[in-house]
């Protein structure tokens, strides 16, 4: 009986080890995701602690200082003096955050693909709204406002597109948008940014048109990582 027991135990151990090996191989993506998630969560907590530390020093006035120690396991840490911020980037095959999404945790921004900006500027002496990411810089005419609509033509909206990768301007004459008739291209309305600032997953400019053929909206969206603009119309 002892011999049988010993042989059974050896066979059982062999099967168990094989099963563990199979499970481990099959579970590698899950394990990698767990490791990446742990890394991101650890850095998130570090940044929240840094934010608290910075707020304490700021509240104490000139001359106050603290020493902070950061153990960086993975990713890249950058101190951006020009924009007065600390950035940590981490690449992973696992989808830790939904693409082009973000959340604010106090002064800490946590998200994925946050490479878009939306802001006001001037282009050839004209007030414009700008949507910018790693590849494109798109200029839209600033027209009227919600409280003060202005007469315009849809060909006035898009002014210029600069391709940053090849350092060239798109040869653009005009972009015509209508409801199927010439009359719908003109009317009163405005252009407006849905949000402003940097570190955005995407940015959208909305043009509102009240023409003799009806009211409608046009959305121009630039996403992080994209080398094209998404144009959508709705009534």
Which pLDDT belongs to residue 6? Answer: 37
Q: Hey, what are 124's tokens?
A: 């050839």
Helix (H) or strand (E) holding 50: helix 28-60
Name the DSSP letter for residue 182: G
Give the single-character DSSP code of 148. S
Average pLDDT for residues 34-48, to the nearest whole number?
82
Q: What are phi and psi of 24, to 5 degrees?
A: -65, -45
CA atoms of 102 and 203, how far apart (whole Å): 13
DSSP 201: S
- The CB density around residue 204, as the number of other CB atoms within 10 Å, is 19
Secondary structure class of 129 (helix, strand, coil)? strand
Crossing angle, helix 28-60 and helix 2-26, to 10 degrees?
60
In sequence order, the β-bridge partners of residue 150 are: 189
Kindly report, residue by residue over 3-28, the tens digit of the pLDDT. 333 334 444 444 555 555 555 555 55
Q: Are 129 and 101 in contact (CB under 8 A)?
A: no
- Are 176 and 154 in contact by the 8 Å Cβ rule? The answer is yes
**CA 185 – CA 154 distance, rounded (Å):** 5
pLDDT in tens, 113-137: 888 999 999 999 999 999 999 999 9
Enter the tokens of residue 208: 């509102």
Q: With 70 as the cut, is the pLDDT of residue 200 above it? A: yes
Residue 15: the pLDDT is 52
- Residue 10: its H or E element: helix 2-26
**pTM, two decimal places:** 0.71
| CA 194 centroid distance within chain | 14
Q: What digits encode the pLDDT tens for the residues 176-198? A: 888 888 899 999 999 999 999 98
Distance separating alpha carbons of residues 92 and 37, to the nearest angstrom = 9
Rounded distance, CA 136 to CA 229, Å? 9
| Number of Cβ within a 10 Å radius of residue 14 | 10
Please give the structure tokens belonging to residue 159. 């002014």
What's residue 23's pLDDT? 54
For residue range 210-221, list pLDDT tens digits in order: 999 999 999 999
Over residues 165-173, the mean pLDDT reads 92
């Amino acid at each position: 009986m002892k011999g049988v027991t010993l042989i059974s135990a050896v066979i059982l151990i062999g099967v168990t080890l094989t099963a563990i090996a199979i499970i481990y191989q099959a579970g590698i993506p899950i394990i990698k995701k767990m490791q990446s998630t742990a890394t991101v969560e650890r850095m998130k907590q570090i940044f929240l602690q840094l934010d608290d530390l910075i707020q304490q020093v700021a509240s104490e006035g000139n001359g106050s200082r603290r020493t902070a120690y950061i153990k960086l396991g993975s990713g890249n840490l950058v101190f951006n003096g020009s924009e007065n911020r600390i950035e940590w980037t981490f690449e992973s095959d696992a989808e830790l955050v939904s693409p082009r999404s973000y959340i604010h945790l106090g002064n800490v921004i946590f998200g994925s693909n946050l490479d878009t900006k939306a802001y006001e500027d001037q282009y050839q002496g004209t007030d414009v709204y700008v949507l910018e990411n790693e590849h494109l810089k798109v200029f839209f005419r600033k027209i009227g406002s919600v409280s003060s609509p202005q007469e315009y033509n849809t060909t006035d909206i898009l002014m210029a597109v600069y391709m940053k990768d090849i350092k060239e301007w798109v040869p653009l004459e005009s972009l015509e948008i209508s409801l199927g008739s010439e009359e719908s291209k003109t009317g009163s309305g405005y252009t407006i940014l849905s949000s402003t600032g940097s570190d955005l997953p995407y940015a959208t400019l909305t043009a509102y048109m009240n023409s003799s053929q009806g009211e409608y909206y046009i959305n121009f969206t630039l996403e992080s990582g994209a080398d094209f603009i998404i144009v959508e119309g709705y009534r």
